[in-house]
Structure 1
């Protein structure tokens, strides 16, 4: 630190990379002193003349203003006011072309001077050294001072730096050709500049203040050294003439050997830079109370007859400056605001002077030739060698043309100071700086849009959150609010209320009293004594009635069979008689089994033998009946139908008996046992067992599988049979015969013994008998349907069979259908005969196996 400070005090400078040496052309304007222009006819004062936000307008159209009166007031950060350059009347407040290459219109105040040039009241500090830091900052702020070296950065922001400043650098280099405004200002107002430096030293307290001046300004160097000889910590340093040594970062490198990091500011390394014009404006604001309303401007060029430097009021039109200095335009005349390197051509001379305007250049065609057409880059690297920021101008130009903004940022586009050195040395005459300016503007615009989008997103999210809160509040509006802490008085009131409630009769007691009253009323209505509950007796009585009804139905069926046996014998009745004979044979076998069971104790082996004998007798009788019916009787339609129906009935009856015996819930057996006296219970049980075995044997012999036989037999015997029904019955009979043959082979004597013991030892229960009967009927219906489907899969036949079986089960007479033709009757008779022959054959095979 001390070594660097000693080197600086000894006058050592450090070079920066790049740089060029264009012709200075400064002698055109530096030989004459600064002059003051007459008041213009009109002043166009833009509201924005600096980096930052506009101030708020505090005047209106038609209002008279005084010289130095504020036209705006700052309302945001980086906002400084503008003041009236002279006294006069505000003619208009409108948009006017701005001092920018695009000349975009900006809000401006149009003032018509009154010629009196009357000042407003000024506040002058008697001793600035006694003012506080805040007071000095406020004076600089309200005076509207901004950087006058070209950037227009608000000075009060720099003066109020929160970072420690080690070196205060005064930029008096003025390296760009033609411009001599700072040179003449230092020559004529060196003491005022030193006073401004002292004010900044009071604010920043730097270790050292360095005034850098190019060695091509000897008069300015001498004047500044003379003014600073009695000042503390101020040294005037001479630097070599090279462009752009006046750049902020380049000057810091020259004077302090420090480099500002990419994307950083000088304050980051403890350095602050101020222009000499800005320091003189601070001097006027603090010591004289004058705001920034005028500045020194160089008006030069071969088309100007009196080139030199002038004091120009802010807002003065460029045309007025040119006319006052003797402007003689040439065809296709160019007027440049700024120097030939960093300036820009004005689209019109009706633009007002602003705080950053330091030069108006009006060259002829020989002095500043028009650039030629852009050619292809030859990759000579001259632009990279001349760049003072160590950038790659050629690469940046490619990225700018292709609008690759991310890559431009990666290659540090914003470190470019737009000095124009790259374009100056380019042999292909590529306007590199123009590409960079456009790219910077587009990137900034994109960033602003992104910031706006983010702000809009935040507003949208906040709005959604607010709407959700409002919706939740509406939902909870009618809900009970959470209980809050109650005061002592409220707690006491609640306790008293609870005590009163506890003294009242209990609610349960009231309910019990009401119930007792209702009970007493009911008792009074029904009488003194209630009737006894006879529900159980009524159930037993109903059961006995049901048993008696079943017994009567069985007896009526037996009587009906006997009646049919005594009827005259004809074609139809002969088949009925055969059926009755088979039934009597079954009863005989049942009687034999009953006698055997009643006289001797029930033995498993004897019972099995008796059952086998009964089955044999039943088979023989059935075979004889079937043979007689088939062989002796002539085959006609009605007889064939009756015979087939009787065969089906017997098979179904046998299957029903087998199913009921196997499930221990045979309806017929239980009815018989229930109606048997208690003394003969064992005999009745034995008879029922024998009867079940006989039925099982008959089922195997007749090859039947349906379980709804009793009803079908009764219905067929009492109902005329037509040919179509006979054909259907024959098909069903064939299926049942096939299934019965399989059942015969699977029968076992051990199962029969078990069934005998179960029936004998199981008490008879009315409810169980009824349930068992229902189960048996359901199983019989399902088996009959399956057998019918197997025998004849046609839809019409299956539906007719199902309907026919339902009619049999319901004990309802079947309505006669229209008689068939002779050919159809003949076909039905043949089918029935074939069915009977097959049944006979199967019965014989079953008998041989037994």
Structure 2
């Protein structure tokens, strides 16, 4: 029987329209806009100024704190300004603007496709190299990888869990990455195992990707301690806590860190980026992005430079369809509607979804009928109907008591609600307000 997590979950239509589309190398943009806050934690601090010339791979911003990540140029050219631009969240954020001139790379980057298996670095040297390359979690949360590889002294890592689930409907970037770069991913997994000093790793893949399961299992057989774990298809299995539950049957307690279970979780795309950083000296300057939608002419998977305008990738798929209702950054469950298509891609940009007018219209909101479907669907065991009502009435103190900070914002509650209550919106609002309250208390 296939494994899965034990509480809640839903089954949205998969709509993997771009499945098995080969990864295409996107054109280098004429202008790149590289955000300084592409990760959880403090924004990076610029180390370049207007007029500076940069190459592909040049460090243009350094980590702004312990939980932060370095930023590198994805293009070569001249820095024109450091200014604000609206990012995928809809807020103006600081960024470095570069006019592209040619495509000159830093000489230290190994651009060959030759597989490099052996890694003779120590765990500490690996972590340092990952930090220097600006690697962050590529599953969406964008947590700086070097921080996750160094758990607090009170905890000990027992295993590495690789998230190759890609449970968001429509997205296929991780799936195609496995089909085209299985060997490099395996080396990356070995490097991560060495970094966290464990001798076993589990790669979780949902059963709707049988070709990836077959290939990864075959390749993993040549690497000690790595096991591929087929999983039952259920959303949000890609959530860190849900994946740990599914694979090693341990639950992360309320308010606890995932490492409390002995597991360190990394995305499969992160494992590939770690391979390139450690074995090829290549910083995180490009990633695979799915561009998709039911009316899109050519749903595709692109290897795109960080800072490429999303408009350019959409045009490479045939342009915006006439019946476009919304453009979503990410997948339909957890993604957010973009305010315009000039938004630059970032390290966390896993997909661009073009929704039709029909798909994008929300149903009329009606009163809660106490059906409890949202409670059954919540993978964190919360009561979304109650949290929604508390947010609506601005009772954020009560929301904290009802454990709103445990919410992973997966949208399962809103997806299953028959009365179209905007439960995810309410939960996001509540988490933001309660998080601000908690930080204010801690600052006193």
User: Shorter-chain-normalised TM-score: which range?
Assistant: over 0.9
**Contact 1:48-1:54 within 8 A present in 2 as well:** yes
1:492 aligns with: none
Paired with 1:118 and 1:126, the residues of 2 have a C-alpha distance of: 23
Residue matched to 2:133? 143
| DSSP-derived class of the 2:366 partner | coil
Distance 2:51 2:218 in 1: 49
Task: Determine the structure 1 residue equivalent to 2:357.
Answer: 365
Answer 1 or 2: which has greater helix percent: 1
- Tell me how far apart the structure 2 counterparts of residues 61 and 340 of structure 1 sit (CA, whole Å): 38
Matching residue of 1:721: none
8 A Cα contact 2:7 2:381, kept in partner? yes
Per the alignment, do residues 373 and 192 of structure 1 end up closer, same or farther by CA in structure 2, a change over 3 Å counting?
A: same
- CA–CA separation in structure 1 for the residues paired with 2:404 and 2:118: 42
Q: What is the alpha-carbon distance in structure 1 between the residues aligned to residue 432 and residue 71 of structure 2?
A: 25
Question: How much has 1:13 moved relative to structure 2?
Answer: 2.6
The answer to whether the 8 Å contact 1:128/1:286 transfers is no
Cα deviations across residues 422-468 of structure 1 (Å, max 9, x unaligned)?
1111111011000111111122233344445x2xxxxxxxxxxxxxx
Q: Measure how far apart 1:133 and its partner are.
A: 2.2
Offset at 1:126? 8.1
Partner residue of 2:15? 25
Residue of structure 2 equivalent to 1:112? 99
In structure 2, the CA distance between the partners of 1:275 and 1:317, relative to structure 1 (3 Å rule), is: same
Separation in 2, partners of 1:135, 1:263:
31
User: Please, which runs of 5 or more residues in structure 2 have no aligned partner?
Assistant: none
Post-superposition Cα deviations, 1:520-541, rounded to whole Å, max 9, x if no partner, equal: xxxxxxxxxxxxxxxxxxxxxx
Q: Identify the match of residue 181 of structure 2 among 150, 166, 189.
A: 189
Q: What is the deviation of 1:50?
A: 0.1
Alpha-carbon distance, 1:375 to partner:
1.0
How far apart are the structure 2 equivalents of 1:138 and 1:352?
Answer: 28
Q: Figure out how many residues of one structure are paired with residues of the other and give that number.
A: 438
- The reply to whether residue 85 of structure 1 matches residue 74 of structure 2 is yes
Q: Does 1:385 align with 2:372?
A: no
Retained in 2: the 8 A contact 1:56–1:73? yes
- Secondary structure of 1:185's match? helix
**8 Å Cα contact 2:374-2:417 kept in structure 1:** yes
SS of residue matched to 1:438: helix
Report what 1:445 is aligned to.
Answer: 436
From 256, 263, 266, the counterpart of 2:255: 263
C-alpha separation in 2, matches of 1:235 and 1:220: 13
Residue in 2 that maps onto 1:272: 264
Residue of structure 1 equivalent to 2:190: 198
Distance 1:92 1:41 in 2: 15
The reply to whether residue 290 of structure 1 matches residue 282 of structure 2 is yes
Alignment of 1:414 with 2:405, yes or no, is yes
**1:287-366 correspondence runs (5 A):** 287-330=279-322, 333-366=325-358
- The Cα RMSD (Å) is 1.7
Q: Give yes or no for contact 1:13–1:256 (8 Å, CA) kept in 2.
A: no
Q: Aligned equivalents of 2:64 and 2:140: distance in 1? A: 24
- For residues 5-28 of structure 1, the C-alpha deviation after alignment (integer angstroms, 9 at most, x for no partner) is xxxxxx8635412111111111x1
**TM-score using structure 1 length:** 0.50
Cα distance in structure 1, aligned partners of 2:169 and 2:416: 16
**C-alpha distance in 1 between matches for 2:34 and 2:415:** 34
Report the structure, 1 or 2, having the larger strand content. 2
Larger Rg: 1
Q: Shift of the alpha carbon at 1:107? A: 0.9
Q: Does 1:41 align with 2:40?
A: no
Instruction: Report SS of the residue matched to 1:53.
Output: coil
1:787 equivalent in structure 2: none
Unmatched tracts of structure 1, length 5 or more: 1-10, 455-850
C-alpha distance in 1 between matches for 2:5 and 2:430: 30
Contact 1:12–1:255 (Cα < 8 Å) also in 2: no
Contact 1:97 1:106 in 2 (8 A): yes
Measured after TM superposition, the shift of residue 208 of structure 1 is 2.2
1:12-70 deviation digits (Å, cap 9, x = unpaired): 635412111111111x1013101011111211100110001122211011111000000
Alignment of 1:799-810 (within 5 A): none
- Distance (whole Å) between structure 2 residues aligned to residue 96 and residue 295 of structure 1: 21
Q: Partners in 2 of 1:80 and 1:374 — Cα distance?
A: 41
Q: What SS does the aligned partner of 1:129 have?
A: coil
- Shift, 1:389, TM fit: 1.1
Q: Secondary structure at the match of 1:295?
A: strand
How far does residue 207 in structure 1 lie from its aligned partner after superposition?
4.3
Instruction: Please state whether the residue corresponding to 1:221 is helix, strand or coil.
Output: helix
Deviations 1:471-494 (A, max 9, x none): xxxxxxxxxxxxxxxxxxxxxxxx
Counterpart-to-counterpart distance in 2, 1:52 and 1:426: 33
Partner deviation per Cα, 1:599-658 (whole Å, 9 max, x = no partner): xxxxxxxxxxxxxxxxxxxxxxxxxxxxxxxxxxxxxxxxxxxxxxxxxxxxxxxxxxxx
Residue 359 of structure 1: how far off its partner (Å): 0.7
Deviation at 1:333, TM superposition (A): 2.8
Is 1:233 paired with 2:233? no
Pairing of 1:450-849 with structure 2 (within 5 A): 450-452=441-443, 454=444
- Structure 2 vs 1, CA of residues 421 and 126 (structure 1 numbering), >3 Å: closer, same or farther? closer
1:365 shift after superposition: 2.4
> Is the CA contact 1:14–1:256 (under 8 Å) kept in the aligned structure 2?
no
Determine helix, strand or coil for the equivalent of 1:442: helix
Alpha-carbon shift at residue 241 of structure 1 (Å) = 0.8
1:373, CA displacement in angstroms?
A: 2.5
- List per-residue Cα deviations over 1:150-209 (Å, max 9, x = no partner): 101000011122432112111111111101010000000011110111001111222421
Structure 2 distance, partners of 1:141, 1:259, is: 29
Q: Distance in 2 between matches of 1:217 and 1:126?
A: 27
Indicate conservation of the 8 Å contact 2:405/2:434, yes or no: no
Distance in 2 (CA, whole Å) between partners of 1:347 and 1:56 is 26
Q: Distance in 1 between matches of 2:124 and 2:118?
A: 12
